[in-house]
Amino acid sequence: MSGALRIRVRGQVQGVGFRPFVWQLAHRLNIRGEVLNDPEGVLIHAQGARIADFVAAITAEAPPLARVDAVETGPFAFDTAPCDFAIAASRGSGAETRVTPDAATCPDCLADIRGDDPRRRGYAFTNCTHCGPRFTILKGLPYDRARTTMAGFEMCPDCAAEYADPGDRRFHAQPVACALCGPHLGFEDANGAHPDAIAAAARALLDGAILAVKGLGGFHLCCDATNAQAIDRLRRRKYRPSKPLALMGRWQEIDRHARPDTEERAALASAAAPIVLLAKGDPLPEALAPGQNHLGWMLPYTPLHHLLLGAVARPLVMTSGNLSGEPQVIGNAEARDKLGGIADAILDHDRDIARRLDDSVMRLTPEGPMILRRARGMVPDTLPLPDGFGDAPQVVAYGGQMKAALCLLKNGQALLGHHLGELDEALTLEAFLQADADYAALFDHRPDVVAVDLHPDFQATRHGEARARDEGLALEPVQHHHAHLAACMAENGHALNGGKVAGIVLDGLGLGPDGTVWGGELLLGDYTGFDRRAWLTPAPLIGGDRAQAEPWRNALMRLDQAGLSNWADQLFADKPLEIARMAASKGLNAPQSSSAGRLFDAVAAVLGICPDGQSYEGEAAMRMEALASETVFAPVPLEHGAAGIDPAPLFHRLRADLARSTSAGDCATLFHLSLAHAFAKEARALVDAGEAERVALSGGCFQNARLLRDTLDALGLDRSRVYLHHRTPANDGGLALGQAVIAAARHLHRR
């Protein structure tokens, strides 16, 4: 192979130093031609005696942030034989390629901000081709400086020389800048602006102040994590009484106050730099995460954060900078307007944020990584569609009402968008609509099919229905729990014709085709359909949405069903029990539900865990997981009858155990085991009968590591036969992926 070739490289190959890598490779191997970006990725025209070695090295030696999906070659004829190898100007518009997520500061750039060069020493926007902002500054493709929020910062001669030097690691790094020509920090408090922003911010934090700090994808609210008074003020001002607060620290702070193992350390240090849930070490104020035995930690992931942590030398709270229920603030003026009543001072800069991205959140379990929130550093990475979906149409799926995220299918890839939040908040809905338009424009996406949840009142459903109607697109309503099952199948590469899977889907709620509220389900299904084989015995949700906020309501109904009304009267004597019972008996705003999430709430209330109300979604369940002991119990058998899997025997056992002064931790353990065994027994029966080859575990309840472990143990299957979520959230943040592949499968099936 020595003739000229046209080489197409597909994948995550823009914004990662791929063109300079190819340039350097070509000069090493004496290859002549050119390399350029275009809407499909990277295009190379090349010839030379070692062309075969050149093609092989494109994949084998790719830059650290690159992901090469395919290298396609074909003959090419140059109009004029090239005498050198050049980086040519980008061509075209639109997008058939992937965009690189934002990446944490690399070791070389970290050394620069601590070094002697005055252009970069202490400079908060130092980056190179191996790190720095990508998706959060991108306005359009191909990925060039003119299409980013760096366009207004003209490079100084030194930066321009680095950008043009193939031997420099900043060669064609689009956000390249230095203190002479790039963005700058600003610090402002009640006394006005301060010239040394980092020093002033550090002094304020050490004095107990709350800061609004502008990061990559938005503002954080920040305070000293060792200062209980500052934490209390932050909680009071933000109206966030008990939801865990994220922390940022250097290794010395993390190693002191947490117990990261090898895999957790690798996750923290990855280019995505997510928040990782870590077991507590030396104590910090309990107010950081009341009732929890883990804290969410992240390393500094920008030079600004490194400089600030270095100046403070303490762990810092870094929680999303937003008003309660609203999206994260991204603009400087917006921060002063909305965060001024919370923050005592603002540390910002003059580089705009093109799109809002919260921090990603994950935890490591013995079964592998678990993504709780997929955002900065992980988006817009894509997942390959399983075998059989090669001819799938372009699909847009809009997810659910909670933890909203949308999904696009195109060219055999699924792009699951970033976490947006709860769509019942007007500004979050606005951000959702902006994200829809943004992703469509950025990735040149023209869907044939729109997928939505069955629930007609979900804002995401209404938007999808309107778009399908207005643009004449096919509409595919998808049942909520079927979407959870399909998302888990798709993430694990289950082929379109791969047969049926037994899906244990446990979550808060989702509308069933029978009009009731589902949430504790065993489904037997594939991408095109499902049968409901087992479910929790339904109970009324007294007050509708209020049942999610006030666990005593769920406990009352479950105890009444179990014939334990007298116990309910004792436990909840201060509650309007007769009114609640009357509403349930008459079906007044009391829909029937099989929700596993509400069963968690019911048990928690019986154990005295926030029975009156939850200050954030899942608080009762999270506290119960943290409380569970390691005592070994035999589970309470929960039989599957005509009405479903009845938890009544569990409540009888809990009453007896509590009367014997059994600890709440042991009772929580018994509940996890009993619920896990009840569903595992039914799923294993489908496998043993040959109706399913594999089991999938999905739904937000499976973010509970204890429930996940107990269910896997109870199944007793080889782990290769159980699908789990590792790259997408088990919660509603992954719902759109399942909707999208179901819609695509139905379309392909009808052909």
H-helix segments, 134-248: 157-164, 197-206, 228-238
Q: Answer for the pair 614, 549: CB distance below 8 angstroms, yes or no.
A: yes
**Number of CB atoms found within 10 A of residue 192's CB:** 7
Contact 655, 607 (CB under 8 A): no
User: Contact, 466 vs 473, CB < 8 A?
Assistant: no
CA distances from 666 to 433, 624, 626, 663, 680 (A): 46, 10, 12, 5, 21
Identify whether the C-beta of residue 308 lies closer than 8 Å to the C-beta of residue 198: yes
- CA distances 110 to 104, 123, 299, 427, 746, Å, are 10, 10, 13, 36, 50
Q: How many whole angstroms separate alpha carbon 149 and alpha carbon 145?
A: 8
Q: What are phi and psi of 407, to 5 degrees?
A: -140, 135
DSSP state of 245: P
- For 109, the 3-state DSSP assignment is helix
Report how far residue 216's alpha carbon sits from residue 301's, in angstroms, rounded to the nearest whole number: 9
d(CA 307, CA 199): 9
CA atoms within 13 A of residue 15's CA, in its CB half-sphere? 31
Tokens 């709780």 belong to: 372
The dihedrals phi and psi of 560, each to the nearest 5 degrees, come to -60, -45
Residue 589 annotated in active site: no
What is the token pair recorded at 562?
């179990």
Selected catalytic residue, list 32, 37, 235, 623: 37
Catalytic one among 10, 19, 235, 356? 19
Give yes or no: 37 in active site: yes
Q: Roughly what angle, to the nearest 10 degrees, separates helices 551-561 and 577-586?
A: 70
Q: Strands (DSSP E) along 158-301, which ranges?
A: 185-189, 192-194, 211-214, 219-224, 247-248, 275-279, 294-298
Please give the positions annotated as active site.
19, 37
